[in-house]
Copies of this chain bind each other. A is one copy, B any other.
Amino acid sequence: MCEANAYLKDGTEEVLFMESVDIIEPHDEGLKLVDIYGKQKFIRACIKDMNLLNHRIVLEKG
């Protein structure tokens, strides 16, 4: 499967925010993330970078 884990950049650390993310969409002033099971999470952040082969997306508070 090609889902990825989303990490939130907090200073120099990257903290796991959500596993198995499928969809990321804009929502209000942030993002809506949906995992492969349909669970949704919202965060006031933007996408900083991603590495799909490593299944890794980094978010940054906006």
Residues of A within 8 A of B (CB): 1-4, 21-26, 36, 46-53, 55
A49 proximity list for chain B (CB < 8 A): 23-26
Q: How close is A28's CB to chain B, nearest CB, in angstroms?
A: 14
Q: How close is A58's CB to chain B, nearest CB, in angstroms?
A: 9
Whole-angstrom CA separation of A52 from B2 in the bound complex: 6
Q: Please state if B36 and A53 are interface contacts (CB–CB under 8 Å).
A: yes
Whole-angstrom CA separation of A47 from B60 in the bound complex: 13
Q: Please state if B51 and A22 are interface contacts (CB–CB under 8 Å).
A: yes
Whole-angstrom CA separation of A56 from B26 in the bound complex: 15
Whole-angstrom CA separation of A46 from B4 in the bound complex: 19
A1 proximity list for chain B (CB < 8 A): 53
